[in-house]
């Protein structure tokens, strides 16, 4: 297998991993204000993507992939809302342990990583086009 193909495979793995990461972040943001229906119900719990490096024996390189999604075990936010159906006996409602600020920072980081992999794909494509142009002459 040639180097250009290997580069494309590695970059594609990075693109897939970051796209999965952005999907998890989007789910977290979408559920940031979801509560349980009753005081006993837990609200949405923040998800955290878990990555690992997988050896691709065909090209002899380690490639990133999303291995799992785990739940964030930090405390839920407690908000005083005595009229809410999910309020406990003291009037507090449990809200998800999602911080929109943290999710937006994570999203920006994922976007940058995605863009870096996309730049690698585009650069490799341009090099292949130049090679083909040279061979045609």
**pLDDT band for position 109 (50/70/90)?**
very high
Q: What is the pTM of this model?
A: 0.86
Domain locations in the chain as residue ranges: 3-136
Residues 6 or more apart whose CB falls under 8 angstroms from that of 29 comprise 98, 100, 103, 104, 107
Residue that has been written with the tokens 């490639």 in this structure? 63
* Residue 22 contacts residue 107 (beta carbons within 8 Å): yes
SS3 content of the chain, % helix, strand, coil (to 5): 45, 20, 30
Which pLDDT value is given to residue 1? 55
Which pLDDT value is given to residue 85? 94
| pLDDT digits 0-9 by tens, 79-96 | 999 999 999 999 999 999
């Amino acid at each position: 297998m040639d180097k250009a193909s290997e580069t494309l495979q590695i970059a594609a793995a990075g693109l897939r991993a970051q796209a999965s990461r952005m999907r998890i972040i989007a789910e977290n943001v979408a559920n940031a204000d979801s509560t349980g229906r009753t005081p006993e119900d837990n609200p949405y719990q923040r998800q955290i993507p878990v990555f690992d490096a997988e050896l691709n024996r065909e090209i002899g390189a380690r490639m990133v992939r999303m291995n799992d999604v785990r739940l964030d075990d930090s405390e839920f936010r407690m908000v005083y809302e005595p009229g809410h159906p999910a309020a406990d006996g003291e009037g507090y409602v449990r809200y998800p342990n999602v911080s929109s600020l943290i999710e937006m920072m994570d999203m920006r980081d994922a976007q940058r990583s995605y863009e870096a992999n996309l730049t690698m794909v585009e650069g490799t494509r341009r090099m292949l086009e130049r090679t083909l142009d040279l061979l045609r002459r």
